[in-house]
Each structure stands twice: as C-alpha cells, then as structure tokens.
Chains A and B, each alone.
Chain A
Amino acid sequence: AQTVTQSQPEMSVQEAETVTLSCTYDTSESDYYLFWYKQPPSRQMILVIRQEAYKQQNATENRFSVNFQKAAKSFSLKISDSQLGDAAMYFCAYTGTASKLTFGTGTRLQVTL
C-alpha cells in the first residue's frame, strides 16, 4: 500500500518570505502522480500543483514550485513571496494505478505580517 508522510504539523512564514513544506511517500509503483492541495477554512480543497513521476523536471506554478526527488521519494513544496492568502492547510497526495488519492496528514501554514 502507498503511504504519504508530512512531518510538519505546523509551519509559519513571514509575508514576502519563502517557505518549504516537506512530504515523503512510499510506493512500489513506477507510474504515479503527486499533488499538493490547499484547504482554506472554507474546506474547499484546491489543487496547487501536480507532478508526474516520469517527468524529471520539477513542476512550477507561479509562486509555487516543487522539489521532486524520485529516488528519495521526496516531494516538497516551495512557496515564494508568501502572501496572507496562502494561509491554509496543505496536503500532499498520491495517485498511482488506482485513481483514488492517498493524502498525508497535512501541514497548517500560518503567514504573519
């Protein structure tokens, strides 16, 4: 079975600074996808960024980028120029042969002035 681990229950960053959220996963599958989802207090899960395992190039979406280390099974999210609106729960997630998402336990990100 696949597992996803987020070891940082809470993180804090100052506005305009950079923060990195960590995620590791375990799988025996060769083809899979990794995701970072954001969940604000409204509960709506929003996809932040996606990485295909077969791609060596790290995914980037505006201020969000990932550091995908396939051999180490690591998938961290970097948020640059943090904004107050970035404050939320962030979940790392995995899909493989089965399309259901397996989630980590989440990291609560606080953004301070």
Chain B
Amino acid sequence: GAGVSQSPSNKVTEKGKDVELRCDPISGHTALYWYRQSLGQGLEFLIYFQGNSAPDKSGLPSDRFSAERTGGSVSTLTIQRTQQEDSAVYLCASSFGYSSYNEQFFGPGTRLTVL
C-alpha cells in the first residue's frame, strides 16, 4: 500500500507570507504527528492528532503555527506570517494506533525555505 505522502516536496516563500503544508497518512492510521527538522534545533515534535483532535500541541513554537486534520485522514500544517527561522524540513508521520509501541511511518517531508 501507499506510504505517507507530503506536499509540496519543496516550498520557497517570502518572509511574511502564509504557507500550508499537507500530509496524507497511511489509510487506516488513526494517529498523525508533525515534526520539524532544522539545523539549529534538530528534530522536534510539533503536534499530534488522535483522529481529528489534537491532544498534544505542546511543540508548536508560536501562535503563528496551527494544524488541523479532517475526516481522520489528511492534515494541514499552516504557518502564518512566515519568518526566516521557520526554514526547516517539516516531517509528518502516522501510526495505526495511539500507543507508544505503534511504529510511526514517516513521509518524505516538505523543505520550507523562507527568504
């Protein structure tokens, strides 16, 4: 079956613009995670969904970041008024269940560059 897909693969934007990053999880996976990978901060957790609800948003760095998930499937991460420090690779992962033992399957990421 298909793996986790993310779009776009690469995104270049100007400082101050809004961007939307999309994640399509593996069909049937109820848990979905967003992570950010940057040179300065390494790999860090952003937000986690169980179905359409987000019980853990603790990793979102500011109120410019938001995410939603609809139909228990596709998720969108939105960054408003982008800043240069938002430049990073944004990784999405999904897993069959919510528990820690469930393997997380990762997508190829979206590389965001803010000029």
Contacts and interface: CB of A to CB of B under 8 A. Distances in A.
Interface of A: 32-33, 37, 42-47, 50, 52, 91, 95-106
Contacts of A101: 33, 35, 43, 45, 93, 104
B101 A52 contact: yes
Q: Which bucket holds chain B's interface residue count?
A: 20 to 34
B33 A45 contact: no
B18 to A, nearest CB: 24
B68 to A, nearest CB: 18
Interface string B19-34: 0000000000001010
7 contacts: A43-B111, A45-B91, A97-B100, A98-B56, A99-B48, A99-B100, A100-B48
Contact of A42 (B31, B33, B98, B108): B108
B55 to A, nearest CB: 9
Interface of B: 31, 33, 35, 42-45, 48, 56, 59, 89, 91, 93, 95, 98-109, 111
Which of A91, A96, A100 has the most C-beta atoms of chain B within 10 angstroms of its own C-beta?
Answer: A100
Given A100-B33, A101-B35, 17 more contacts: A33-B100, A43-B109, A44-B106, A44-B107, A44-B108, A47-B103, A47-B104, A47-B105, A52-B101, A95-B100, A99-B31, A99-B99, A99-B102, A101-B45, A102-B45, A103-B42, A104-B42
B103 A50 contact: yes
